[in-house]
Structure 1
Amino acid sequence: MGEQFWITLLAREFHGLLYIFGACLLSLVMTLKLYGVPRRRLTYVAILTLLSCLYFATETVDPLVYAVQLTPISIALAIIFEGFVPALAAWAAFALCGTLVVGNGWLPTIAGTSVMVLLGIYLNRRGSDSGCIPYARYLKRYMLLVAAHAAIYLAVAYGTGSGPPNGVALFWTLAGTLVSALIVSAVYHRVKHQEHLHMELIDAEKYQVIGQMAASISHEIRNPLTTAKGFLQLMGKEGINEETRERYREYATEGINHANAIISDYLNYAKPTRESEQPFDVRAELDGLMPWVTPMSTMADVEIRIQHLKDGPLLMLGEPKKFQQCMLNILKNAIESMPSGGTMTVMTWTEGGKLCIQVSDTGVGMSEEQLRQIGKPFFTTKEAGTGLGMLVVVQLIQLMSGTIRYRSKPGQGTICDIRFKRYEHARLNRTS
């Protein structure tokens, strides 16, 4: 048997193997964003069909190589790694091509491929696993299917008198099939393993977002609920008149309503929208927050100074509840940065088309590194903090087309500058 025969046989086996690897690679690249399992499987079937057509159009097909190597390797790959639908599609494609195009006997082809598909379905159902199956188990199933196909196909082929006449060529083709099956299963298992890890990473990120959201909600509603609790406790003190008690009751009710509004906002937090925007007076909103922060400042021995540098209303367009939520967080953080007492100054003014708010404190201050971390999830300078309060503040201010900037040095306090578009200026821009 000449050298040219072996070169031709090996070349045809190698070329067929390259097409299988091409289908694996293309399916990996094209399905990176197709997270739905049905879409990934259908894409794999389409790629395998396309490359099969290309194979027939450009290669010299050896019937023995096609029947003994390419057919079982491809169908077993679909059964073990892709599932029922791709397995049926691969079975139909290779059975039809093997009989109608390549010219192999229809009875051994149908018998070998059908037994392989039925056995594969049985093994998958019997040994169904969740998660990523170890490679040893995949390899056993894969090699069993390839061996079963070879046994049935050759038995029926020789029984019907259509078996391969060249025993040496058959032996080396079967040896090439064994080596190819080992290589293909190892490579494709590695691909599927990486895909499984990728999906686990996506799920982990989703769970992290859920946990972050839950922690953020608890952090945000703690402020108004703590204030409401304080006013309810003040209502129980002796010696207060009815007017003061009624005022405390109103403040407590407002705190509970505020907490309820925050929860409602977070239910739609995944898709933040600008809803029910209206012009409101920033000056009035800040003054209205003072009864909420006064109990905290009194307990921390912090003096609050409010300076409105412009007379009259300071109007901006937005959602008052979101604005209150942001400012309450900022004021609370300023008070907590002064554990030994100090002064918190709140200033408002206008500058061109901007409405400016500045909150400064005489607290412990922050370093340059800490300033860069403000607004990032889970960053906090407080021992019991979650690091999510400022994340919410930054996002809500950006939602209202505002900006926030911090300046600070260790031991010299912190200055928070917030700027929004003035309502009059924003209205002129919209109508012009």
Structure 2
Amino acid sequence: MSIYYKVVLFQVLIILFPMLVYHLFFNENERDRRKPHSKLTIIQLIILILAMSFPIKFAEGYVYDFRIIPFMISFIYGGTIPGLITWVVLMIYRFIIGGDGFTVVLINYSLTCVLLILTGKKIASFHKKHKLVFISLVFWTNTFIVMLTLFTKNQSSQISFMLIFYTITWVCLMLVVFVIENVNQQMMIREKLQRDEKLNVVSQLAASVAHEVRNPLTSVRGFLQLMSDDNNLQESQKSYIRIALNELEHAQSIINDYLSLAKPNTEELTSINISDEVKKTLALMKSYSNIQNITIETDIQDSLYVKGNRGEMKQLLVNIIKNGIEAMTTEGVLTVRAFEKDGLISIDISDTGKGMTANQIEKLGTPFYTTKEKGTGVGLTISYQLIQAMKGRVNVESEPGIGTTFTIQFPSA
């Protein structure tokens, strides 16, 4: 029996050492992991081959190894394509190894494969705790099927060893999940620090420059307005003044954005009716949408209350709705929904515009990043900052050529 436990320790080493290397030297984000040639997929394939090459042979045709760990990790953290690649390699290598258990392995892993594909998007949205529970349920269901197979094959003598082996396997699986979740957390912290550093630079710039620029702009605007009242001016000259005033308004709007970014007014959060705020904002944007020939469709549940600042809530709604309108050319449809689910107030703002790539979505909210030709990127940065300050969160789903959906969620007040 001691030889079995030596092999078990070797299997543990096969699993944990490559994952430790991955943790120390490779920092892949979620998008990179879903590529077929990602470092995570390559490491899982190496682990799979090594684990199946050095199994425990308990009886003729019955072998034990840690193959289920790279199989599940590829699906859960890599996605459908890396998972299917791992499944195909597993089946081919198991067929080459031979033995009576191939049919059982094929059925068992195929069913697990279908389950992981169907629940892939749901798993990706789970927090670490829920993800651990789900992975454990799938693992022990798989183990239960193996146990039933042993009973039907009159191999009950293996049950005690099988339970010990699979318990060790489960512990290793949990360790691997913790390693990857730790990598995810480090990536998020690093990105947040970089974002906060950029915001800090922009805030300092805004605080030091915006007031100084606003004063001369106010003076210039005042003199231009006085000049426009002069009856001795020609109509062409008055039109030039109107153009100059419009450009000054645009400059003033940008300065206000920078001032909001420097110091968002979210210190006093009160209970506000978000349903009314959404309706008022849509009424405000109605004329702008008509100019752009955009149809606005709404489905707003009444009496939805959140903790927030009324003025800042209006500002972020205007920013995101305006972006949705400007993302469409003509005859587009902007759909706005507001509803409550599971104690969260959700506001969905969907457009039928040009959409965005995954790389563009990832950069949204960072200072100076914009997909518009004449945009500064500050408006969306402010919106993200205000949502976070009001204890909310935002999720963006988009497909190029189809459209974009912004989902803003706040805790119900």
When the two structures are superposed, what TM-score results if normalisation uses the length of structure 2? Answer: 0.46
Q: Highest Rg: 1 or 2?
A: 1
